[in-house]
Structure 1
Amino acid sequence: RIARRIGRPTVLIPTDEEAAVLIAEHQEQLADGGKFLFPRVERDLPRRLASKQGLHELCVEHGVASPAAAFPESYADIEEFAASARFPVVAKNREAFTRRKQPAVNGTTKIATPEGLLELARDWGEQPGVILQEYLPREQAEDWIVHAYFDADSTPLALFTGVKVRSWPPHAGMTANAYVVDNPELADLAARFIKQIGFTGVIDLDLRFDRRDGQYKLLDFNPRMGAQFRLFESESGIDVVRAMHLDLTGRAVPEGEQRAGHRYVVENIDLPALIAYRRSGYTTPHAPARATGTELAWLATDDLRPLFTMLARFVGPGARHLHQLWRTNRRGGGTARTTPE
């Protein structure tokens, strides 16, 4: 219906994992007659990348570092894991669509003790759809971001790297404050992995640099546009969405260096995150001392409606969010992130 209403070829841009999977698994119908333009990719690859288990297996297969993980199939498996694992651990919903229909945890959840894990797991059913992952200590780690667009040959036409300074909930949630920081090693790692798996399209990667062994460990592979994609723009004015649009419509993507030092701030969550991080004494060594510019998530002087909408919606959900965090912390001894993984 949308294709008929628009009446000409239209670029499809997935904004969550489910949309990326949907497009990949219905490529022929969506491309029929030139209705929609999108990167063609191996049919099952986005679903595998969006799956925590599938991503971990791909990392092992291609020699990319990732946190140690377990994939329990029963409560007995969880009991066995709890008896031998080193705590704290992290629990995540295993599959993209399951997190919408029957989430086991309300986002990424840090669990401090075996007893906390066993108590939470009682609500996960006979087949718990979770991944239990090694926790990388915040005191010995840094959170990094990669946003990029890869063409039909899995060659990057736009590739950006940045460091996450603060998140909310602290150290386990969505980006609250981040900077564009040049990191050639990380850019090369991401480009090689994408080439190996043959992915095409926009990516949003979350990695944690583990100072204990000097490795970047891939936490999340989002085969779609990221929420903070506007932080990353080249000096020629190209971000990942513009790169994708230009490429799919047969035009050249201008080259240009990324805007190093540019900052991204999510107004409604960065203040509480700032307070929490100052109390903990945590700092990010690679964050620039001064921003070269700031990209705000909600406020735009030419259109104030998103800001007012955010404020109106923040009060009720914010209270429920804090209540859920309190319940999870009380039961599992951890901190939950209620944004999608």
Structure 2
Amino acid sequence: MVKHHVLFLGSDESIYGSARELHEAFGMKSTIIAAGRPMTATRDSHIVDIKLVPGINDDPKFIEEMRKIGAEVKAAGQPTILVGSGDKYAALIAQHKAELAEFFVIPYIDYDRMIELNHKETFEPIAAEFGLAMPATKRITPADAERDVESEWGYPVILKSDNSVEWMDLFFPGHKKIYFINSHEELNEVIKLAYANGYTSTFTMQDMIPGDDSFERNLTAYIDQNGKVRVISMGHALIEDPGPQGRGNHMAIMPDYNEAIYDQYVKFLEGLNITGFVNFDLKFDTRDNTYKVFEMNIRLGRSNWWASLNGTNWMRALVDDYDDVAIPDMPVYANADKSKWKVWLAITPKLYKQYMRHNEATDFALKLIENGQYGYTYKYKNDWNIKRFLNYRRANQNFAKYYAKYFKA
């Protein structure tokens, strides 16, 4: 008998993956709160109940509505864990943690600590203290819009906002999630454009590590109430969204297993004295044979269900923790048995085959796909109906057009 339920904020693919995990693990139907029309992932689903609360993704509406919802949850007497999608909901929950804790279990760290670990300029010295390798970096500030900025490493370089919550609320022509800068002129043009359109925080400019999407890794862990890592799982990214707003979003992930990386990051995470989900983006640098970390996110990633496809159910880890279900051998190092690996896809096998870059990893993933060892977050047999099938087909048609338009060989 499950003691704790989960209430979700948001309606994206991350939330659907988590709701699916609860349904698979416990047969539990989830309630999600959405600020507007549900996104495709959760639309027309039978395993979620969706409550629309316009404006709940911003303060002061967020805390005003969460007080009301919290009072209802408390009156019902059902212990409930609060989980949000993306950086914005995670930040809102952490910001109001003290007040929300009256009604919910809050598996998030304090807001100031979250900002310290989320923001690259404060994360870097902490990571360095534990010996985590990082790309060479330079901080870009608003003052740099008034001067000429140089790259010390030549080009290309990566430019990314240090404040993802502020950045995602902006939109202007030329706005991108991540910039891949190819020249001195382009770098200065982007810096000036961003600050002229209202951005106030810093950017991180990083040396571009050689290699395509398939050199990247996704590392996710759950740290329990006692600050101990319960499970850690590493994924091998294969291909990403090529579009300006989606760049960095994985479209195919295969499991990976690296005991040395697991050891290093478990030591790091347990040294931080934190709790909840964390997610890292890494890339293998062939120049010195190291995995370099780009950033740390205090939340699950958008494509987190890839790990569940391969045996790591994040919601079971969360609920079991608060239900006081012991795990005899912690931490669990996921994906040790390569024969059981499955490829997670957000695109069709046909599209993957068309746009994959051939190397040992991507070719191995293709063999797994051809053997039927693959799956999708969205395509759940216990939540399949004609409307979801039509949504799924429409999404794949759009992805095909998107890759044709934006993909660069």
Larger deviation, residues 176-185 vs 79-88? 79-88
User: Displacement of 1:141 after TM fit?
Assistant: 7.7
Matches within 5 A, 1:30-49: 30-32=100-102, 35-39=103-107, 41-49=109-117
Larger deviation, residues 142-151 vs 161-170? 161-170
Tell me the distance in 2 between the aligned counterparts of 1:86 and 1:273.
32
Aligned to 1:67: 135
Matches within 5 A, 1:111-260: 111-125=181-195, 127=200, 129-138=202-211, 142-169=215-242, 173-233=248-308, 238-253=312-327, 258-259=334-335, 260=337
Could you state the TM-score of these two structures normalised by the residue count of structure 1? 0.80
Unaligned runs of 5+ in 1: 330-334, 336-341
SS in 2 for 1:110: strand
Whether the aligned pair in 1 keeps the contact of 2:344 and 2:374 (CA below 8 Å) is yes
**Structure 1 residues 134 and 217, CA, compared in 2 at 3 Å: closer, same or farther?**
same
Tell me the distance in 1 between the aligned counterparts of 2:317 and 2:400.
35
User: Displacement of 1:23 after TM fit?
Assistant: 2.0
Q: Which amino acid aligns with 1:240?
A: W
**Structure 1 residues 205 and 140, CA, compared in 2 at 3 Å: closer, same or farther?**
closer
Larger deviation, residues 298-307 vs 90-99? 298-307
**Structure 1 residues 76 and 220, CA, compared in 2 at 3 Å: closer, same or farther?**
closer
User: Displacement of 1:163 after TM fit?
Assistant: 1.3
Q: Give deviations 1:17-44, integer Å, cap 9, x for gaps.
A: 2222222222211111xx2112353441
Q: Which amino acid aligns with 1:5?
A: E
Matched, 1:4 2:71: yes
**Structure 1 residues 203 and 140, CA, compared in 2 at 3 Å: closer, same or farther?**
closer
SS in 2 for 1:227: coil
SS in 2 for 1:81: coil
Whether the aligned pair in 2 keeps the contact of 1:3 and 1:36 (CA below 8 Å) is yes
Provide the aligned length of Structure 1 versus Structure 2. 322
User: Displacement of 1:187 after TM fit?
Assistant: 0.8
Higher relative contact order (CA closer than 8 Å, sequence separation 6+): 1
Match of 2:87 among 14, 17, 37: 17
SS in 1 for 2:101: helix
Q: Which amino acid aligns with 2:292?
A: K
Could you state the TM-score of these two structures normalised by the residue count of structure 2? 0.68
Whether the aligned pair in 2 keeps the contact of 1:158 and 1:239 (CA below 8 Å) is no
Match of 2:121 among 42, 53, 58: 53
Tell me the distance in 2 between the aligned counterparts of 1:166 and 1:92.
19
User: Displacement of 1:184 after TM fit?
Assistant: 0.5
SS in 2 for 1:169: coil
Matched, 1:290 2:357: no
Matches within 5 A, 1:275-314: 275-278=354-357, 281-284=358-361, 290=368, 293-304=373-384, 305-312=387-394
Whether the aligned pair in 1 keeps the contact of 2:220 and 2:277 (CA below 8 Å) is yes
Q: Percent identity?
A: 19
Tell me the distance in 2 between the aligned counterparts of 1:17 and 1:322.
30
Tell me the distance in 1 between the aligned counterparts of 2:107 and 2:140.
34
Match of 1:100 among 168, 186, 193: 168
SS in 1 for 2:347: helix
Whether the aligned pair in 1 keeps the contact of 2:137 and 2:206 (CA below 8 Å) is yes
Tell me the distance in 2 between the aligned counterparts of 1:254 and 1:4.
36
Whether the aligned pair in 2 keeps the contact of 1:165 and 1:287 (CA below 8 Å) is no
Tell me the distance in 2 between the aligned counterparts of 1:307 and 1:124.
39
User: Displacement of 1:13 after TM fit?
Assistant: 1.8
Q: Give deviations 1:42-85, integer Å, cap 9, x for gaps.
A: 44122222223333343234331111111212464685432644
Tell me the distance in 2 between the aligned counterparts of 1:267 and 1:141.
15
SS in 2 for 1:99: helix
Q: Give deviations 1:273-312, integer Å, cap 9, x for gaps.
A: 543334xx45538956536832313222222354533444
User: Displacement of 1:238 after TM fit?
Assistant: 4.8
SS in 1 for 2:239: strand
Q: Which amino acid aligns with 1:309?
A: N
SS in 2 for 1:161: strand
Q: What CA RMSD, in Å, does the superposition of the two structures yield over aligned residues?
A: 3.5
Whether the aligned pair in 2 keeps the contact of 1:228 and 1:264 (CA below 8 Å) is no
Whether the aligned pair in 1 keeps the contact of 2:132 and 2:293 (CA below 8 Å) is yes
**Structure 1 residues 287 and 78, CA, compared in 2 at 3 Å: closer, same or farther?**
farther
Whether the aligned pair in 2 keeps the contact of 1:17 and 1:50 (CA below 8 Å) is no
Aligned to 2:15: none
